[in-house]
Amino acid sequence: MDMKMPISAAAITKMHAIIMAVVIIIAAVGASASYYLTLRPGAPEYIKIGWPAPLTGTLAGFAETTPWMAQQVEDYVNNKLGGIYLSEYGKKIPIKIIIRDTKSDPDLAATIAAELITKDNVDIMLALYSPAMTNPISAQCEKYGVPCIVSQTILLSWLMGAPYEWSYAIGLAEPDFAILFFDLFDSMGDKVNKKVAMINADDPDGRGFSESIKIVAKARGYTLIDAGLVPYGAADYSSYIYNWKSSGADILTGNMLFVDFATLWRQCNELGYKPKIVAMSRALLFPSWVEAIGGELPNGLIGYTWWSPFHPYKSSITGQTASQLVEAWEAHSGKQWTPVLGLTHAVLEVAIDAVKRAGSLDKTKIRDALAETNLNTIAGPVNFKAPLTPQQQARYRPFENLMKYKDHYVVVSPVAIQWVKGSKWPWEMQVIYNWESPEIPETAKMFLLS
C-alpha cells in the first residue's frame, strides 16, 4: 500500500469484510468438498470407467463413435446383465462410463484425466486415439496409480514413456506396415517390376515410415525412387511425378495426410503416371478420406486396416459379431463404419473383464487382473503375457522398447485392403491380403491398376 496516501476508513472496513469473506469461503468450500469427495462408505454405487476423448478438434474423427459405444455397452451391462458381479461386495454393481471432451488438446487431456481420477474417482481409465491423447492420459494414470487401457495408438510413440506400471496397450506397431506392403508386393511375382516410387509427409509419421521402407526395400532388392519428405499442403508434385514416370516405377507408396495424397493422386492421373500398385499408409484409413479424392480415382487404391466387419471375432460382452456391430453403428448413425469401431469396443471389454476378475475396485487388484488378461475380444485375442510370434520378434528386434516391455502391450496385426466401388457406400474396402492372420478371410482378389 502507498503509505503516503491513506485510504478511506470505509474502504478499509469493506476490505476487511471482503478478505474475511474470502477466507471463510475458501475454508468452507475446501472442507466440504474434501469431505464429500473422500466419502466412500460401503459398497460403491458404480464401477466408474473414465474416458477422455477428443470429441471436438482435429482428432474428432477418431472419437466419432465413442459416445454411442459407451452408451450401448453401459445399457447392455446395466440393463441386460444387471451390472458386474464383484466378489468383494458379493453383489452386482452397475457400470458408469464417464466421457469428457479433450478438444484434441494434449494438455487438456492431462487436466481432464487428473480430474476424472481426483474428482470422479474413476476405477479404470481408457486412453485412445493417437499418441497426442494416449500419452498424456496414461502419464496421469501412472502418476496417480490408476489402471489404464491404451489403444488405437502407435506403440513406439507410447513406449517412450515406459516403463509403465499401470498402463497396458492394444496398439499398432510401426515396423509392421512396411513389411506388410512388401510382402504384398513380393506376392505379385513378375507382374510388377521392383521399382518403387515413394513420397512421405515431413512429420514424425512420414519420417518413421520412410525409414522402415528404405531398410526393407534394400533388403529385398527393390529400387526406390524417393521424392523425400514433403511439407503439408504442397500444390505441385509434377517434378516428382515426371521422375517416377520416366523411371517406370510400377509401385507407388508413402505416408501422407489424405488431403495431400488426394492432390498427388489427381496430378499423377493428369500427367499420365499409371503405377500398377498404389499402397499408401495413413491417407486411406477412412472411407470419407477416400471419397474426398473424387471421381473414379479411388478405385483400386491399397491401404491397410486393423479391423473390419470381416474379422471373425465377437464381443465378449454382448456376443455381437464384427459385422453386427458395424450394422448397429450404421443403422444408428447413418454413417459408414470406420476401423476405429472395433478397438473402441474392445477396450471396454478388456476393462470390464479386468474388473470382473479382480472382484474388487482396489486399483492394484484391477491392475493385476489387467496384466493377466486373456480375452477374445471383437478386435481379436488380447493376452499381454502371450509371447511375440517369431516373425514379430524378427521385426521388433531393432526396437529396444518393443522388446523390453512386451508384457505391457499386444499388437493388432494389420491386413492389406483395397478400395472398390461399394453397394451400400460409394467406396468400400475389401481384404485382399490377410498377411499373418490366416483366420481373417480374404474377401476379394487384388487387382492391378494397369
Partner 1 sequence: MELKSRYIYIVILLAVLTSLPLWVGGFLRDALILFFLYLAAAEVWGFMAKHAGIVSLGQQIFIGVGGYTTAVLSMYFGIPMYASVIISGLLGAGLAGLLSFPLLRLRGVYFAIGTFLAAEVIRLAFSGWEFVGAGKGLIFRDAYGIPTTIIYYPALALAVISIFLVYLLYHSKLGFGLRSIGADEDVACGLGVNTFVCKATCFILASLITTLVGAVNVIHHTYLHPTSAFSISWTVNFLFVAVIGGVGTIVGPIIGSALFVAFGYLFAQYLGLSLLLEGLIVLAILIALPQGVWSAISRKLKLNLKPPL
Binding site for partner 1 (CB under 8 A): 1-3, 5-16, 19-20, 22-23, 26-27, 29-31, 33-34, 36-38, 55-56, 67, 99-101, 103, 105-108, 110-112, 114-115, 117-119, 131-132, 135-136, 139-140, 142-143, 157, 160-161, 202-205
User: For residues 144 and 174, what is the distance between their CA atoms, to the nearest angstrom?
Assistant: 29
What 3-state DSSP class applies to 92?
strand
132-142 b/e with 16+ CB inside 10 Å = b?
Answer: bbbbbbbbbbb
Residue 128 contacts by C-beta under 8 Å, 6 or more apart in sequence? 53, 62, 63, 66, 134, 150, 151, 152, 153, 343, 344, 347
Nearest approach in angstroms of CB 432 to partner 1 is 31
Residue 345 CA: distances (Å) to CA of 189, 310, 313, 319, 375: 39, 16, 12, 12, 13
Nearer to partner 1, 45 or 107 (CB): 107
Nearer CB in complex with partner 1: 51/244: 51
Cα–Cα distance for residue pair 310/312, rounded to 1 Å = 6
Of 107 and 439, which has the nearer Cβ to partner 1?
107
Do residues 378 and 325 touch, judged by C-beta distance below 8 A?
Answer: yes
Q: Could you tell me the smallest distance in angstroms from the CB atom of residue 45 to partner 1?
A: 17
Q: Which is nearer to partner 1, 153 or 253 (CB)?
A: 153
24: cell is: 471463510
Q: How far is the CB of 450 from partner 1 (least distance, A)?
A: 35
Strand ranges in 184-276 using DSSP code E only, listed in sequence order: 195-201, 223-230, 251-255
Min dist. Cβ of residue 128 to partner 1 (A): 15
Residues 124 and 84 sit within 8 Å (Cβ to Cβ): no
Q: Minimal distance in Å, beta carbon 119 to partner 1? A: 4
Residue 376 CB contacts under 8 Å (≥ 6 apart), including other chains: 313, 314, 316, 382
C-alpha cell at 7: 485510504
Q: How far is the CB of 71 from partner 1 (least distance, A)?
A: 11
Least CB distance from residue 247 to partner 1, whole Å?
29
Return the number of the residue (57 or 83) whose C-beta is nearest partner 1: 57
Choice between 9 and 331, CB closer to partner 1? 9
Asked whether the beta carbons of 284 and 301 are under 8 A apart, the reply is yes
The SS3 call for residue 354 is helix
Closest to partner 1 by CB, 233 vs 390, is 233
Shortest gap between Cβ of 345 and partner 1 (angstroms)? 19
Our CB check for partner 1 shows the closer of 137 and 293 to be 137
User: How many CA atoms, within 13 angstroms, populate the side-chain half-sphere of residue 245?
Assistant: 14
| Nearest approach, Cβ of residue 110 and partner 1 (Å) | 4
CA atoms within 13 A on the CB side of 61: 11
Residue number, 34 or 87, with CB nearest to partner 1: 34
d(CA 258, CA 280): 10
State the nearest-atom distance from the C-beta of 151 to partner 1, in Å: 17
Q: 3-state SS of the chain: helix, strand, coil percent to 5?
A: 45, 20, 35
Q: Which is nearer to partner 1, 26 or 386 (CB)?
A: 26
In the complex, least distance from residue 131 CB atom to partner 1, rounded to whole angstroms: 5
What single letter denotes the amino acid at residue 81?
Answer: L
Q: How many contiguous H segments (helices) and E segments (strands) does the chain have?
A: 15, 17
How far apart CA 414 and CA 38 sit, in angstroms, is 45
Alpha carbon of 278 to those of 252, 254, 392: distances in Å?
5, 9, 25
Question: Closest separation between CB of residue 405 and partner 1, Å?
Answer: 13
Task: For partner 1, give the closer residue by CB, 132 or 382.
Answer: 132
For residue 428, give the H/E element and its range. strand 427-433
Comparing CB distances to partner 1, the nearer of 229 and 449 is 229
